[in-house]
Amino acid sequence: MATSVYEKKKFSLIDGTVIDAAPLKIKYLREFLTKFETIKSAKTDDESISVLVLCALIAMKQYAPYIKTIDDLEDNLDLPTIYEVIDIAAGIKINQKSEEPVKSQAVDSGSSWETLDLAKLEAEAFLIGIWKDYEELEQSLSMPELTATIKAKRDLDYSDKKFAAAMQGVDLDKNSGNSNEWEDMKARVFSKGAAENGNDILALQGKNAERAGFGIGMGLTYEVIE
């Protein structure tokens, strides 16, 4: 059984300083992925690496705010560490030893907002009433934290509805046809829109199945219970 929403990781600067890092908060992830999208127009590995360096610099706003410029970044992180940061921040995995172009490796990671209605998810979480505005929500939560919060809210809401129905002699599980909107949404995310629901095999394929996430490495996971 999982005991944490995500796994915290460490990376080391050139001077030996160890940084504790977790998935980017949504505020920084938005900026990170906007920059990352430009890698699709890169024509060489050097151009692709330049985009990833800029993405890593954005991640430093959360991990090491004193690293503010490209020069600062180059003084503190070598290329393998930049790849580590990219992975921790958004689940984009680059293997420096691979013969596959950097652009292909990055794009194949599937990092995108395209298959996820983030505005709808944030609106649902906002109803909890903890945050004064959406900016505060995005500063507070990473994607794994957002999805875990929404899942807990949905589970609680369903339990309340199930109890109320049971008081009226209605078996909500039986009458629902075993439909699970949450699992269906994750299935569409895992398969980049190809799967219709959680029972569709297209939801479990390739790297998405291996990571059991929606492609930005934010820890959206699940397990099959026999």
* pLDDT tens digit at each of 226 positions of the chain: 456 677 789 999 999 999 999 999 999 999 998 999 999 999 999 999 999 999 999 999 999 999 999 999 999 999 999 999 999 998 899 988 888 999 998 888 755 666 567 888 889 889 888 899 999 999 999 888 888 888 888 888 888 888 787 777 777 666 565 445 555 655 555 555 555 554 444 444 544 445 444 433 444 444 445 5
pLDDT of residue 200: 47
pLDDT of residue 222: 44
pLDDT of residue 1: 47
Distance, in Å, from the CA atom of 181 to the CA atom of 46, rounded to the nearest integer, reads 43
pLDDT of residue 112: 60
Pick from 28, 14, 18: nearest CA to 138: 28
pLDDT of residue 190: 52
Pick from 94, 74, 89: nearest CA to 9: 89
**Is the dihedral angle over the CA atoms 118, 121, 123, 126 positive or is it negative?**
negative
CA distances from 193 to 52, 64, 148, 178 (A): 26, 36, 21, 21
Cα-Cα-Cα-Cα torsion 98, 101, 105, 106, nearest 10 degrees, comes to 130
pLDDT of residue 187: 57
pLDDT of residue 157: 84
Distance, in Å, from the CA atom of 25 to the CA atom of 10, rounded to the nearest integer, reads 17
Domain locations in the chain as residue ranges: 9-108, 118-211
pLDDT of residue 110: 59
Distance, in Å, from the CA atom of 29 to the CA atom of 35, rounded to the nearest integer, reads 10
Distance, in Å, from the CA atom of 203 to the CA atom of 13, rounded to the nearest integer, reads 38
pLDDT of residue 164: 81
pLDDT of residue 75: 96
